[in-house]
Amino acid sequence: MGFSKTAVSGANTVSLAVFAAVLPARASTGVLLPVLIAGDVLAVLTYRRHAHWPTLWRLFPAVAAGVVAGTVFLLWADDAVVRTSIGAILLLMAGVTVWRRRGAGTEAGPDAVVGRAGRIKARSYGVLGGFTTMVANAGGPVMSMYLLSAGFRKLGFLGTSAFFFLVVNVSKVPFSAGLGLIDGRSLLLDAALVVFVVPGALIGRWAVHKIDQRLFERLVIAATVVGALQLLLR
């Protein structure tokens, strides 16, 4: 998770799938949330100068709606439904992104994602990102697909996603606590896990400068597909 926050966003879907295999899918979301927040803080400290705030302001209202929808979904969905739903959404997002990039080539950049079509796109991905991050902490791949489709370069991608997930994950804490997903036992486990986020983040900070843009994009998409398949096939 630390590596994914500072190097290849979306790679944490593999971690999410592993934790969902060890813990019940619902319980794993509460355990992982504080760990993810720790990674978000490290990512913000590393890439804070590269965030694109106009994109963030376009996304936040739709994400809030998605978080509320995800909270309602968790009130009745069991573990199997959660895993299948998230896996299907992630595969769909990866497929759409690959199709769009092959058909349209390189986008003009984040400032080009404006107008009515850009607002609709931001709202659609925002709702899906909020829903998936609330249900299974799996909003990273959805937002990765959005940022790639918007033409973000590597550092802008990482800086924007760092602030996005810090704000979103912190806002999820009251909802998760209200659902009983965060309690004293989960926080004790978090205390043991969070120390391992730091070396992962440092390795990611070193590795990101060794990865060119094309490889970076392919790794993000591949990590999304692998994580989705693990959720669907478990």
**pLDDT exceeds cutoff 90 at 191:** yes
| Mean pLDDT (the chain, rounded) | 81
In degrees, rounded to 5, the angle at the alpha carbon of residue 215 between the alpha carbons of residues 211 and 220 is: 100
Question: How far apart are alpha carbons 116 and 126 in whole angstroms?
Answer: 15
At 35, the pLDDT band (50, 70, 90 cuts) reads: very high
Report DSSP state, residue 23: S
Instruction: State the pTM of this model.
Output: 0.77
CB 152 within 8 A of CB 52: yes
The token pair that represents 14 in the structure block:
């593999």
Question: How far apart are alpha carbons 5 and 200 in whole angstroms?
Answer: 9
Range with the poorest average pLDDT among 66-80, 86-100, 116-130, 205-219:
86-100
> For position 187, what pLDDT does the model report?
93
Q: Tell me: the pLDDT tens digits for 114-159?
A: 566 677 888 888 898 888 888 877 777 778 778 877 778 888 888 9
